[in-house]
């Protein structure tokens, strides 16, 4: 199995998804199946192949340095589960 329980625990935490202990083993199996399957890419010779960097044949567009946006703090916090005085609020963060 390419992915074990500890790895699942680690990546679940990296992804900030709580996974109960009993889910780790089944998830490890599921992910291993998928990982083993995608590893067929190893058959492909890609030594001198550049990675695809863009799907479109255009150059990155650049915009002018002009203030065109902002100024609507009420809209910014309108959907927030927690807000006060136009700030978002979250459980206290310890530095």
Partner 1 sequence: MTDNSELTDLTLAQARDGLRGKAFTARELTQSYLNAMNDADALNCFITKTPDKALAMADEADTRLMRGEGRPLDGLPLGIKDLFCTQDVLTTAGSHILDGFTPRYESTVTNNLWQDGAVMLGKLNMDEFAMGSSNENSYYGPVTNPWRRSGGETKLVPGGSSGGSAAAVAAGLVAAATGTDTGGSIRQPAAFTGIVGMKPTYGRCSRWGIVAFASSLDQAGPLARSVQDSALLLTSMVGHDPKDSTSINAPVPDFESAMTGEMKGLRVGIPKEYRVEGMPEEIDRYWRQGMDWCRAAGAEIVDISLPHTRYALPAYYIVAPAEASSNLARYDGVRYGLRCKSDDITDMYEQTRSQGFGDEVKRRVLMGTYVLSAGYYDAYYLKAQKVRTLISRDFSQAFNKVDLILTPTAPDAAFGIGEKANDPISMYLNDVFTVPVNLAGLPGLSLPVGLNAQGLPLGLQLIGKALDEETLFRAGGALEEAAGFNATPTRWWRDV
Partner 2 sequence: MSTKHPHESGHKLIAGATGDWEIVIGLEVHAQVSSKAKLFSGANTEYGAEPNSQVSLVDAAMPGMLPVINRYCVQQAVRTGLGLKAKINTISVFDRKNYFYPDLPQGYQISQFKFPIVGEGEVTVDLADGETVKVRIERLHLEQDAGKSIHDLHPDLSFVDLNRSGVALMEIVSMPDMRSSLEAAAYVRKVRAIVRYLGTCDGNMEQGSMRADVNVSVRRPGEPLGTRCEIKNVNSIRFMSQAIEYEARRQIDIIEEGGVIKQETRQFDSKTSTTSAMRSKEEAHDYRYFPDPDLLPLELDEQWIEKIKATLPELPDEKKSRFMSDYGLSAYDAGVLVAEKDRAAFFERVAIGRDSKLASNWVTGEFFGALNKAGLNIENSPISANQLGKLIDLISDKTVSGRIAKQVFEIMFEFGGDPAQIIEKKGLKQVTDLTAIELEIDKVIAAHPGKVAQVKDKPKMMGWFVGQVMQSTGGKANPQAVNQLLRKKLGLG
| Per-residue tokens: 77 | 């916090």
User: Is 80 a residue that touches partner 1 (CB under 8 A)?
Assistant: yes
- Token representation of residue 66: 């002009």
Single residue of 21, 63, 67, 71 touching partner 1 by CB under 8 A: 63
The pattern of x and - marking residues 35 through 74 that bind partner 2 according to CB under 8 A reads: ------------------xx-x-xxxxxxxxxxxxxxxx-
Could you tell me if 40 and 73 are in contact, meaning their C-beta atoms sit under 8 angstroms apart? Answer: no
Tokens representing 72?
């609507």
Contacts of 74 (CB under 8 A, 6+ apart): 86
Among 14, 18, 41, 49, binds partner 2 (CB under 8 A): 14
Residue ranges that bind partner 2, judged by CB under 8 A: 14, 16, 53-54, 56, 58-73, 76-77, 82, 84-95
């Amino acid at each position: 199995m390419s992915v074990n329980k500890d790895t699942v625990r680690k990546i679940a935490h990296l992804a900030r998804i709580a996974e109960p202990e009993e889910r780790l083993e089944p998830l490890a199996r599921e992910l291993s199946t998928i990982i083993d399957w995608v590893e067929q890419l190893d058959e492909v010779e890609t030594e001198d192949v550049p990675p695809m960097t863009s799907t479109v044949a255009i150059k990155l567009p650049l915009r002018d340095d002009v203030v065109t946006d902002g100024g609507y703090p009420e809209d910014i916090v309108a959907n927030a589960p927690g807000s006060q005085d136009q700030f978002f609020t979250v459980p206290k963060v310890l530095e």
